[in-house]
Amino acid sequence: MSAESLVVEVVRSGFVESTHRARMLAVGADGSPVRVHGAVDALVSPRSSMKPLQGLGMLRAGLALEGELLALSCASHAGEPFHVAGARRILSGAGLEESALRCPEDLPEDVASRDEVLRSGGGRARIYMNCSGKHSAMLATCVINDWPLETYLDPAHPLQKAIRHTVEELTGERVAATGVDGCGAPLFFVSMVGVTRAFRAFVQAAPGTPERRIADAFRDHPEWTSGTTRPEAQLMRAVPGLMVKAGAEAFDAFAFTDGRAGTVKIEDGGQRARVPVTVAALRALGLEGPGLDELAAGVLFGGGRPVGEIRLR
């Protein structure tokens, strides 16, 4: 499957000052391609867009989380106070302290939350790192199964083997390579076709199944999967029934209740082009909602006022 990449233009004061190329795969309710740009069948690094699959592997291994804490276990959170408190709840429920976490130390990504930490005399901590919800859930899964805690990020660990099996099952592909994600967890390389197939499995699963529990947690608690003001949460609020998960280096994966789904990858990792292309993929599938125009516009500012836009050519 191959087609020309989509070109995204960054226009300032009427001048095209930069361009990004994007891959896009959008499939209809029956799974057939509706819009394709770029080599969507080539290997890709989905980064945190794989967190729902990691969460599913943990549920299948006995993790007992529901609602907002399940959403947080699949999140790239902004470090807002409720995110941090939620990660601590997951750890305490497993009888663990923050010292068990093996993700890097960080400050909250949310600016107001970061400022408050610094104002109060705090600093970088593992619990503030955007993957701390996932890492807390990984540790809780290890406690349930009496698996080693210190090595839970090792690809040979029983937890990571279970997650890899889940990734291969849902994507319908063998993992071609294993790397290391920014948080230290194993990163599995598959194709955009495989990730799209996996996201369709979440929304099409029967109520009460582990897959559907994750999809419902995303849609019921979008701010727990990202942040109060993050575009992924805005997309899910704008289009009820939509599940969206972003990944680093400008990757997005989404699926709608009836099976319409897609993936987006900005080839140079430029995050500013990601959301406009994702909105274009949604609209190619006939998905609309309030606020999408603003998310698609990609407004550029100069001197505090709009002076340009990010647009698809």
Asked if residue 165 has pLDDT above 70, the reply is yes
Asked if residue 2 has pLDDT above 80, the reply is no
Q: Calculate mean pLDDT across residues 189-211.
A: 98
Q: Using one digit for the tens of pLDDT, what is the confidence trace for 228-281?
A: 999 999 999 999 999 999 999 999 999 999 999 999 999 999 999 999 999 999
Q: Calculate mean pLDDT across residues 192-209.
A: 98
pLDDT at 1 (0 to 100): 56
DSSP H or E run through 13: none
Given the structure tokens 């990504």, which residue do they identify?
109
Rounded Cα gap, residues 62 and 56, in angstroms = 10
Residue 46: both structure tokens together: 């989905």
Given a contact cutoff of 8 angstroms between Cβ atoms, the answer to whether 226 and 232 are in contact is: yes
End-to-end Cα distance, the chain: 22
pLDDT at 63 (0 to 100): 98
Q: Using one digit for the tens of pLDDT, what is the confidence trace for 26-57?
A: 999 999 999 999 999 999 999 999 999 999 99
Given a contact cutoff of 8 angstroms between Cβ atoms, the answer to whether 255 and 285 are in contact is: no
pLDDT at 3 (0 to 100): 81
Given a contact cutoff of 8 angstroms between Cβ atoms, the answer to whether 242 and 235 are in contact is: yes
pTM metric for this prediction: 0.95
* Ranges assigned E (strand) in 132-250: 177-180, 186-191, 242-247
- Hey, what amino acid is at 153? L
Rounded Cα gap, residues 298 and 283, in angstroms = 16
Q: Using one digit for the tens of pLDDT, what is the confidence trace for 104-149?
A: 999 999 999 999 999 999 999 999 999 999 999 999 999 999 999 9
